[in-house]
Amino acid sequence: METNKVKQIHSFGQSIWLDFIDRNIIASGKLKELIDVDGICGVTSNPAIFEKAITGSSDYDDEIRTLSDSDKSNEEIFFGLAITDIKNATDVFRGVFDKANGADGFVSLEVSPFLALDTEGTIKQAEELWRAVDRKNVMIKIPGTQPGVEAIRKSIAKGININVTLLFGLPRYEEVAEAYISGLEDHLAAGHSIGHISSVASFFLSRIDVLVDPMLDEKGLGDLKGEIAIASAKKAYEIYKKVFSGPRWEKLAEKGAKVQRLLWASTSSKNPTFKDTKYVEALIGPETVDTVPLETIEAFRDHGIVASTLDNDLDKATEALERLKMAGIDIDKITQQLEDEGIEKFNKPFEKLLRLLRIKKAKCK
Catalogue the active-site residues: 141
Number of helices (H), then strands (E), belonging to the chain: the values are 17, 8
State the SS3 of 267-285.
CCCCCCCCCCCHHHHHCCC
**Cα separation of 151 and 330, whole Å?**
28
Q: How many other CB atoms are there within 10 angstroms of residue 4's CB atom?
A: 15
SS3 14: strand
Q: How many other CB atoms are there within 10 angstroms of residue 362's CB atom?
A: 9
**Cα separation of 340 and 169, whole Å?**
12
Whether the CA torsion 305, 310, 311, 316 is positive or negative: it is positive
CA 217 to mean position of chain CA atoms? 30
Q: Is 265 left (phi over 0), alpha (psi -120 to 50) or beta?
A: beta
Whether the CA torsion 80, 83, 88, 91 is positive or negative: it is negative
Which of the 8 DSSP states describes residue 290?
E
One-character DSSP codes across 302-323: HH------TTTTHHHHHHHHHH
